[in-house]
């Protein structure tokens, strides 16, 4: 059994984590109580977000192979160790004492090819090619492996103060699939280190040629690029909407889209720009100002929440049969009464990005935002100099896009 326990040894654990990016670990209380214990992949973003002492009172049991952790669990814990739901240790690999082996609940491996060359030492580029895009859930095992390779290599990117993470997805975009989901959210990774100064993303067109000269349907590219570089495959046209610095107070995770929407909807004024023509590509360009110097920078969830909120602020909800109940539920989480919320949702004058039957729909006892952002083919969330205080602030614009003529197959190297 080659599993190793790190107990009261943060330095040793962090060294292992940095040199065993394809490994696995169990996070468990030092008395081996399995309640709350989880199996993680070494690339899991939740491990990078932990604060305080990392190996006391919860120790880390690490190994290169899941089978070694299964053997450790049989001998030491004699109880099931559940997989983390946020990383590539899921959905199978539950360690069971009955068999001493990891059990997989993913079903048969679906055939699929991918190519993910090792990152050249000193390079600021991570690239991969595949037969299909990485699905958010119910993905075949080969996609889990590809996800792990990409995120492990991206975790090694260390941007300078003037660099941001530039992420590009090449190939056909599935209907109703957000580009930020394809290139960021579906990878179950925060990109917090590589994107700490900002994250730029876009939908490339044709899949670049792979180094092995085989044909693939899609491709991924992540590179450190100058903050001022802009998009590689798109030319910017007219500004469809813009807004100056807007205070958002403290972010509350799943409430971010609603917070952004309300703040921007309340400050709309003057004469709106002509609406964007249907089926026209656009980009959302945001600057974000953290409240303090040591505030965490952009991450995948923040990008998605802010982009959804901004797009929603310039669309309108048309289903009056649900607008009252939607407003009532939103009022429980927002500093606004239901009447104001409903009026802002139904306002067509500022819907320069079009209308959506149910911009917000009822889901269980809550609501879910559903902006029509199919044609949001690029975006960025860049960190601006911080201010003092406890709240976040954003400024930005929505711009029309056109495909760049003779667009390069890849974005410029940093």
Instruction: Tell me how far apart the 2 most distant CA atoms of the chain are, in Å.
Output: 70
Q: How confident is the model at residue 293 (pLDDT cuts 50, 70, 90)?
A: low
Instruction: Say if residue 203's pLDDT is above 90.
Output: yes
| SS3 call for 367 | strand
Three-point CA angle 341, 343, 344, nearest 5° = 65
Cα 314 from chain centre? 22
Q: Output the pLDDT for position 26.
A: 94
Q: Output the pLDDT for position 239.
A: 97
- The CB-side HSE value for 36 (13 A sphere, CA atoms) comes to 9
**Structure-block tokens of residue 187:** 């990878």
How many other CB atoms are found less than 10 A from the CB of residue 108?
8
**Which has more confidence, 407 or 345?**
345
pLDDT digits (tens, 9 = 90+) for 15-24: 888 788 788 9
Bin 14: left if φ > 0, else alpha if -120 < ψ < 50, else beta: alpha
Stretch 202-226: mean pLDDT: 94
Q: Output the pLDDT for position 249.
A: 79
How many other CB atoms are found less than 10 A from the CB of residue 106?
15
In this prediction, what percent of the chain has a pLDDT beyond 70?
Answer: 88
Instruction: Report the mean per-residue pLDDT for the chain.
Output: 86
Highest mean pLDDT among 8-12, 44-48, 110-114, 160-164: 160-164
Instruction: Say if residue 2's pLDDT is above 80.
Output: yes
Question: Exposed, middle or buried, 408 (CB in 10 Å: 0-12/13-18/19+)?
Answer: exposed
**Structure-block tokens of residue 261:** 């929407």
DSSP bridge partners of 26: 39, 61
Omega before residue 57 within 30° of 0, cis: yes
Q: How confident is the model at residue 119 (pLDDT cuts 50, 70, 90)?
A: confident
Q: Which domains does the chain have, with CATH numbers?
A: 4-103 (no CATH), 114-226 (3.30.1330), 234-403 (no CATH)
**Which has more confidence, 222 or 294?**
222
Find the radius of gyration of the CA atoms of the chain: 23
pLDDT digits (tens, 9 = 90+) for 169-189: 999 888 778 999 999 999 998
**Which has more confidence, 145 or 107?**
145
Q: Output the pLDDT for position 78.
A: 79
Q: Output the pLDDT for position 47.
A: 79
Q: Output the pLDDT for position 409.
A: 46
Q: How confident is the model at residue 10 (pLDDT cuts 50, 70, 90)?
A: confident
Contact 303, 183 (CB under 8 A): no
Bin 365: left if φ > 0, else alpha if -120 < ψ < 50, else beta: alpha
pLDDT digits (tens, 9 = 90+) for 217-252: 999 999 999 999 999 999 999 999 999 999 887 777
**Structure-block tokens of residue 399:** 């711009």
Q: Output the pLDDT for position 379.
A: 97
pLDDT digits (tens, 9 = 90+) for 72-118: 887 888 777 888 877 756 434 445 544 333 333 333 334 578 999 98
Q: Output the pLDDT for position 168.
A: 98
To which residue do tokens 């667009």 refer?
Answer: 407
**Which has more confidence, 153 or 81?**
153
Q: Output the pLDDT for position 110.
A: 41
- The CB-side HSE value for 305 (13 A sphere, CA atoms) comes to 20
CA atoms of 359 and 236, how far apart (whole Å)? 26
CA distances from 176 to 182, 305, 311, 368, 379 (A): 11, 17, 15, 15, 17
DSSP H or E segment with residue 223? strand 218-226
Q: Output the pLDDT for position 121.
A: 83
**Which has more confidence, 294 or 30?**
30
Q: What phi and psi values does residue 314 have, to the nearest 5 degrees?
A: -120, 30
Stretch 267-286: mean pLDDT: 93
> What is the b/e burial string over 315-348, where b = at least 16 CB atoms within 10 angstroms of the residue's CB?
bbbebeebbeebbebbbeebebebebbbebbbee
pLDDT digits (tens, 9 = 90+) for 347-401: 999 999 999 999 999 989 999 999 999 899 999 999 997 666 668 899 999 999 9
Instruction: Say if residue 65's pLDDT is above 60.
Output: yes
Q: Output the pLDDT for position 53.
A: 82
Query: Rounded to the nearest 10 degrees, how much is the dihedral formed by the CA atoms of 343, 348, 349, 351?
Result: 120
The whole-model pTM stands at: 0.72
Among the listed residues 288, 174, 285, the one whose alpha carbon sits nearest the alpha carbon of residue 231: 285
DSSP letter at 15?
A: H
Q: How confident is the model at residue 295 (pLDDT cuts 50, 70, 90)?
A: low
Q: How confident is the model at residue 267 (pLDDT cuts 50, 70, 90)?
A: very high
Question: Exposed, middle or buried, 161 (CB in 10 Å: 0-12/13-18/19+)?
Answer: exposed
Q: In sequence order, what DSSP letters do the residues of 275-338 get, joined into one string?
A: PPPTT--EEEEEEEE-SSTTS----HHHHHHHHHHHHHHTSEE--HHHHHHHHHHHHTTSSS-H
């Amino acid at each position: 059994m080659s599993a190793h326990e790190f107990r009261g040894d943060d330095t040793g654990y962090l060294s292992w984590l940095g040199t065993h990016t394809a490994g696995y670990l169990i996070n468990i209380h030092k008395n081996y109580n399995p309640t709350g214990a989880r199996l993680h992949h070494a690339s899991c973003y939740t491990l990078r977000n932990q604060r305080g002492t990392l190996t006391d009172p919860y120790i880390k049991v690490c190994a290169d192979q899941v089978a070694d952790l299964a053997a450790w669990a049989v001998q030491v814990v004699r109880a099931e160790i559940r997989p983390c739901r946020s990383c590539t240790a899921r959905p199978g690999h539950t360690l069971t004492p009955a068999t001493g082996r990891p059990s997989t609940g993913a079903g048969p491996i679906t055939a699929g090819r991918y190519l993910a060359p090792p990152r050249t030492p000193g390079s600021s580029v991570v690239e991969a090619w595949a037969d299909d895009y990485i699905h958010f859930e119910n993905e075949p095992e080969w996609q889990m492996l590809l996800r792990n390779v990409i995120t492990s290599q991206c975790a090694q990117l260390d941007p300078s103060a003037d660099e941001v993470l530039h992420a590009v997805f090449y190939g056909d975009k599935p209907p109703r699939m957000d580009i930020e989901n394809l290139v960021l959210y579906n990878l179950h990774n925060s990109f917090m280190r590589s994107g700490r100064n900002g994250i730029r993303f876009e939908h490339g067109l044709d899949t670049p040629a792979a180094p092995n000269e085989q044909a693939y349907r899609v491709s991924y590219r992540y590179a450190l690029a100058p903050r001022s570089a802009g998009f590689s495959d798109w030319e910017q046209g007219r500004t469809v909407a813009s807004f100056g610095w807007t205070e958002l107070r403290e972010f509350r995770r799943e409430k971010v889209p609603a917070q952004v929407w309300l703040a921007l909807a309340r400050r709309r004024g003057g004469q709106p720009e002509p609406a964007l023509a249907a089926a026209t590509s656009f980009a959302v360009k945001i600057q974000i100002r953290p409240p303090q110097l040591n505030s965490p920078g952009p991450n995948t969830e923040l990008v998605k929440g802010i982009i959804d909120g901004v797009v929603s602020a310039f669309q309108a909800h048309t289903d009056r049969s649900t607008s009252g109940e939607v407003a009532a539920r939103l009022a429980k989480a927002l500093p606004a009464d239901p009447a104001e919320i409903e009026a802002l949702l139904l306002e067509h004058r500022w819907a320069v990005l079009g209308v959506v039957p149910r911009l917000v729909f009822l889901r269980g006892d809550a609501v879910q935002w559903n902006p029509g952002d199919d044609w949001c083919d690029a975006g960025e969330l860049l960190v601006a100099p911080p201010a003092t205080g406890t709240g976040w602030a954003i400024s930005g614009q929505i711009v029309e896009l056109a495909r760049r003529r003779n667009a390069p197959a890849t974005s410029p190297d940093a």
